[in-house]
Amino acid sequence: MVKEEASPSQSRWEFAGSVVLGAAVCFASSAATGIMLVAARKWSDANLEVALRWSAVLSIGLLLILAAWRKVMTKLPVFPRLVVGAGLGMLITVSWVIFARNQYGSLWAQGGAPLLPCWLVGAPAGFLIASRSRLKPDLYLALLLAGIGLWSLQVARVYVPPA
């Protein structure tokens, strides 16, 4: 089997596409959970607005980190690339949660805590998507997105607002 080389312009588009898609998946996982919580009447529109704002800031910051990751990850074999990428996603999320927790203060239990599991899935999923050598829709991508959707649905189902 002959491996086809991408032209420089194709490589540029794949680089930008994978970075943007990775950040979009990170945001989408949080947004899906927030929308499901509003639909289940466990959150108000104000909670959703704040959650979307925090998730957007995380995703924008992730854009920069994913761009650097795309430059470095090509030197790693596939399995270590996925493990290191998911680990970096978790590390970034934990750092983000600590920062967001300090900013939310007493509102963390009501407005931020339900997004924690989604941030913990969203950022590593963004790294996994950006770690792909080629940007193409396939079964792997569909399963990853379906898994995020089901995870968000489960979080919205089990979340109980504080009294």
pTM of the shown model: 0.76
Segments making up each domain of the chain, as ranges: 10-158
At 40-87, the pLDDT tens digits run 888 888 888 888 888 898 888 888 888 888 878 878 888 888 888 888
Report the C-alpha gap between 29 and 6 in whole angstroms: 31
What is the distance between the alpha carbons of residues 34 and 134, in angstroms, rounded to a whole number?
A: 31
pLDDT in tens, 106-127: 878 777 778 888 888 888 888 8
